[in-house]
Amino acid sequence: MKKLLIKTLASLWIIASLHSQIAAADRSEDFAKIKALIDALALETALSEMKIQGASNTISDVELNILTAMFFAESGQPGKALKIIEKTKYMTTQFDSELAEAQARSFYKQGDFAKADDFSVKALRANPNNLGAQLIAIKISGELSGSLQNKSFEKLVQSSNHNRSVWLAYLEQALRFDPNNTKLADRAYIELGNTGIMTEYRARFTFLGGDPYEAYQLFRDAQVLYRDEANTISANRIGRWLKIHKKFAKHSPPSTPENDSSVSPPKAELNPNERELKRDNLPGPRLTPTSQNNELEIEPINVETEGDIFTGSGFITNDGLWVITNRHVIERADRAVVRDGLGKVRYVKEYYLDQDQDIALLVLHEPFPASQAVQPADIIDPVGGDELFLMGYPLADVLGAHHPSITEGIVSKEAGFQNEASEFLITANLNQGNSGGPIFSVDGRVLGIAVAKLDKTKFLKENNSIPEDVNIGIKGKEVRRVLGFKHSSNSDARPIMSARDAYSSLRSKVVLVVAIDE
């Protein structure tokens, strides 16, 4: 099915590329119909309709190109989408709003929120009623503020008469920032009916709500509905999730394995035939200027295993050859793979576990570009009150893992609980999957790495109070120690970045870590 889809996408792009004459026609009903299918993520149906309407010339050349670009953007190929848009914008004096919306979609999918925001504004200037551009603007606001934009979504839900694409965007953002809001998923289910995607969202909220067994049954129901709707791509995607999480098929919780990570000795290498990674055989860190790569296509991570899969976050260093993450993310791994914030995949050759702190160093078979690496001299120590950005991949197996998230906060204390000198406290939100992710200063240097979300229940029992918005990071000095970097950190003045600018410039340095315990 995947090969067939690739061939079909290629043929569709060829069809779109053959249309080159100047066009200035009103938007057709078929254009609106197919765009609504893309907005609702009914991509297979949209693809079929584009082929039919394109072959019969019932939509204009420009319309076909715009739809093709939007399709590529939503199917994970925003680079191709931007190439089509670049050609199409010279073919018409109309469709300014749709062309800008297609560009905004593509840059949003690439994780370039600054450009996505610029083009959503351009689309809305051309047509203030452009619903797709309104949604992109709301989604960007949510990503940069780290919060659910419920007021904006509620207003748009009502004004659009419960438009399906509005609800989908609302639910997706709620999963990121308000995952316990199961009532929202129930409302959407009531409004939009018993469909595959609505049932899938109910399953995702249920999973995050702590009931994986009920979620598993809902995912199975979603798969059946997707098949009934002839949506084989989504049905197969759900099938892969079910296969990986088959331990939740039964309602009895799985027994704790004897080699639980809390008591088992850590594994020091991925391949028993390879040499053990020792501290004294690590090459010294080298420093390279940074740059930006704008050619983004998301490479898939395909995992076939009967064992467990764990995800975390990390950042690139040492000219792209190493990744820093948490020890607890990787210590049970028999093999591992990482993907950077630009969508490129690398496989882990071996790893080193620090015995003093929850830090691990991953060595890659093939390095990322050196321009994406954090220089060791740019790993500094936090100061109380410093503003910061936390980047990583929280709840990746439910929320998706194509691009890192960003949340803002401050350094609330220069030491950890009970004045632990190697740690510091931050106010940025932390969730499972953020572990090992970089904590950046507002001028782009690394203050440390995320390590733990405060257990409020335990804290309440021990202290009779619950602190708000307090989580834990490991200081930059501990990361420098693991890297063997003994020189002074850089202290030169640098521009202060907004969350939008920070995301665009720093996301290439952040990685998703996928650890497989066979």
Q: Where are the domains of the chain?
A: 2-194, 195-253, 279-369, 376-510
User: In the chain, which stretches have pLDDT less than 50?
Assistant: 1-9, 11-25, 254-294, 398-399, 456, 466
Task: Determine which helix (DSSP H) or strand (DSSP E) holds 31, and give its type and residue range.
Answer: helix 29-39
Encoding tokens for residue 169?
A: 């965007």
Provide the pLDDT for residue 400: 52
In terms of Cα–Cα distance, which of 366, 346, 373 is closest to 509? 373
- For domain 376-510, which CATH number applies: 3.40.50.1000, 3.30.160.20, 2.40.10.10, 3.40.50.150? 2.40.10.10
Domains 279-369 and 376-510 share a fold: yes
pLDDT tens figures, 310-348: 889 999 999 999 999 999 999 888 889 999 988 889 999
What is the pTM assigned to this prediction?
A: 0.63
Provide the pLDDT for residue 390: 93
Provide the pLDDT for residue 233: 80
Encoding tokens for residue 171?
A: 């639910």
CB atoms within 10 A of CB 410: 16
In words, the CATH class of domain 279-369 is mainly beta
Provide the pLDDT for residue 274: 37
- What DSSP assignment string belongs to 139-178? HHHHHHHTS--HHHHHHHHHHTTS-HHHHHHHHHHHHHH-
Provide the pLDDT for residue 441: 94
Which residues face 390 on adjacent strands?
407, 439
**Mean pLDDT value across the chain:** 80
Which residues face 406 on adjacent strands?
391
pLDDT tens figures, 488-506: 788 888 888 888 888 888 9
Provide the pLDDT for residue 463: 55
Cα–Cα separations (whole angstroms), residue 361 to 40, 282, 326, 431, 499? 41, 10, 8, 21, 27
CATH topology of domain 2-194: 1.25.40
Q: How far apart are CA 472 and CA 448, in angstroms?
A: 10
Provide the pLDDT for residue 282: 43
Provide the pLDDT for residue 285: 40
CA dihedral 71, 402, 191, 131 (to 10 degrees): -50
